[in-house]
Amino acid sequence: MLKGRVAVVTGATRGIGFATAKELAARGATVIVCSRDLASAQKAARRIGKKAQAAGLDIASAKSVSGFVKKIVAAHGRIDILVNNAGYPFDPKIWYKHMHRVSDGELDAVLEVDLKGTFRMTKAVLPVMAKKKGGVIVSISSTPAIAGYDQGAPYSLAKAGIVAMTKHVALEYGRHNVRAYSLALGNIATDATFNSMSAKAQKAAAQESAMKRWGRPEEVARIIAALAGDDFTFATGNTIVVDGGTVFL
C-alpha cells in the first residue's frame, strides 16, 4: 500500500501514464496527474477519483518544471514517487527515417522531451526526496536503449540516456534512500503507438515476443506500483525489461 505518499506521474492523461496514475491511487497514494493540457489532466483526474489531482506541466520547460515542483511541495510537503512517463509522441516521419537523414532539429525535438524532460523532472525532485530521506523515481525507457534497433535512432539515443541517468541517480542518491529504476518497454498497446500502426504492422509486432502479443498499459502500471512500494527497498539502479520475452539482460 502507498497510503500517505505523494506521487507525480507525467503524461498521465492516457496510456501507460493514466494506467499508472490509476494504479498508484488504487494503492492509496495521492497522485498528481500531469499534462501540458490542464483540461485533459482534470478530466483524467476525475476518472481516477478523489485520490487524484490535476496539474498543468510542460517538461520541455525548465520554468514550468520548477514552478510545478514548488507548488506541489507547498501543497503537500513532499514528493515520494516520480514516474517519468511523458515522452515525445510517436512520429512515423522520424521513426522510419534512416539515421543519416535525421536532421539536428528532429534529433533535438525528441531529446528535448524524452531525455532532457526526464532530466529536468528528476533534477527538480531529487533535493525534495533527499531532504525527506527517501523517494522512488521510475523512468520509462525502451528496449532499443539496451539492445539497439534499426529504426527510430533519436528515440534509442534518448531512451539510452534515461538508462544511464537512472544508474547515476542510484549511485549518487542512494545514501539519501532515493531509489531509481528504468523500465525498458517493448510493444505496449497504447493509443500513441498501437493505433498509429496498420493492422499488418500490429500483427507483425505481436510476433516479436515469446508471448506473441502486445503488452497492456495496466501490466506496466502494476510493475511501476510495485517498484514504488516497499517490496524493492534493497534494489536500485535497475533496468527492468517489460517486453513479453524479446530482450534479455
Residue 155 annotated in active site: yes
Q: State the amino acid at position 171 in one-letter form.
A: L
Identify whether the C-beta of residue 112 lies closer than 8 Å to the C-beta of residue 164: no
Three cell numbers written together for 165: 541517468
For 63: left if phi > 0, alpha if psi spans -120 to 50, otherwise beta; the answer is alpha
> For residue 155, what are the β-bridge partners?
none
Give one DSSP letter per residue of 198-249, joined into a string.
Answer: -HHHHHHHHTTSTT-S-B-HHHHHHHHHHHHTTS-TT--SEEEEESSSS---
Catalytic residue among 88, 155, 173, 181: 155
Listed in sequence order, the residues at least 6 apart from 159 whose beta carbon sits closer than 8 Å to its beta carbon are: 114, 115, 141, 142, 144, 145, 184
Q: Please state the φ and ψ torsions of residue 109, each to the nearest 5 degrees.
A: -60, -40
Where does residue 61 rank: exposed (0-12), middle (13-18), buried (19+ CB within 10 A)?
middle
The catalytic residues are: 155
